[in-house]
Amino acid sequence: MNFSQIPGQKAVIDRLRSSVAENRVSHALLFYGPEGSGKFALALAFARYVSCENRTAEDACGVCPSCVKYDKLIHPDLHFVFPVIKKKSGTEPVSDTFISQWRAMVLRSAWFSLSTWTEAMEVANEQALIPVAEAAEIIRKLSLKSFESDFKIMIIWLPEKMNAETANKLLKIIEEPPARTLFILVSEEDDKLLPTITSRCQHIRIPAIPSGDLSAHLVQTLGIDRDKASGIAAIANGNLVRAMELARDDESTTIHLDRFTRLMRTAYTRDIHSLVTWSEETAGLGRERQKSFLSYSLRMIRENFILNFNGRENRLVYLTRAEDEFSDRFHPFINDRNINALNREFNLAYAHVESNGNTKMIFLDLALKTMRLIR
């Protein structure tokens, strides 16, 4: 991954290149911003740039031994930490337990979501976390001397998935790391990080990708026509992960829409038996898929509420063709009478799923409350 492959983040890239040129690379960086903005891709490109043996003012050379190893994600001074799940054997895993699946996923695309990663690990009901055993592994790896590069680089993806014990064990090494060590934390929910962690990092905000850059990237990388790319970029609203899903007609978007449609139609008709069936089916999904569906539902509720004002002329509405067809009749039912309550209930369900609550109870409760609110 080179800087040249990342769309729409020129200001951030210029800032990162300047820090290297002026020898002002902070020992701990926090890349934060919305999903699909390219945070992980930027972290990987920056690590490659720092490690490159023949970098130019613009980018890594791409041909030196370091760059060749980065192409395969096997550079000995590049380390990854990411959320994992506990195996049935009962032993607490660390990132290296799943490193082959991780490399395969990242090499397919440096733009991905947590649900993409949990699918790559082939897990369902488990929530991915960064366990306390990972802290000891990080400290062990960074206590060694670098093998080839000037820097040992540790990229921690979704550090908000660390529990308090894990984060506290890392405080000292993040504040006073071994010489020539670089931490890059890549976060989508930086407000969930311990303040003692964030205070030790230089913050770099990664904004959503502008629609024009997103559209051009889709044309260049996926070969779709410009009109279709522009439409997808408008719907994706700066999220390249979502844009690529839409461009490939991703199955998860279709499944989420079907599940949302069934819930709303069944809630409107007050079919209790079907609502129970819906809640049991949804409870059978993995927790990451459940959270993905709830996030999707919140987006659909927002879009349909906005449709009540300026309709499809409102440029703040981002719907696919299938979503638009459903919303054409549905949007009057999302209004100022129920919008706040619906947002509250779906957000509450998300929080309960994330807290490992009983999903059968969570989704049945959500379905019944939706039935009360939708009419």
pLDDT tens digits along 80-125: 999 998 766 667 889 999 999 999 999 998 998 888 888 888 765 5
Q: How many CB atoms within 10 Å of residue 54?
A: 12
Beta-ladder partners of 152: 181
Supply the pLDDT for residue 124: 55
Supply the pLDDT for residue 250: 58
CA angle, corner 314, sides to 313 and 315, nearest 5? 105
Q: Provide Rg for the chain, Cα atoms.
A: 22
Q: Which residues have CB under 8 Å from 210's CB, separation 6+?
A: 8, 238
pLDDT cut 90: percent of the chain above it? 53
pTM for the model: 0.74
CA–CA distance, 341 with 348 (Å, rounded to integer)? 10
pLDDT cut 70: percent of the chain above it? 94
Q: 314 and 306 in contact (C-beta within 8 Å)?
A: yes
Average pLDDT over residues 246-273: 86
Average pLDDT over residues 215-240: 84
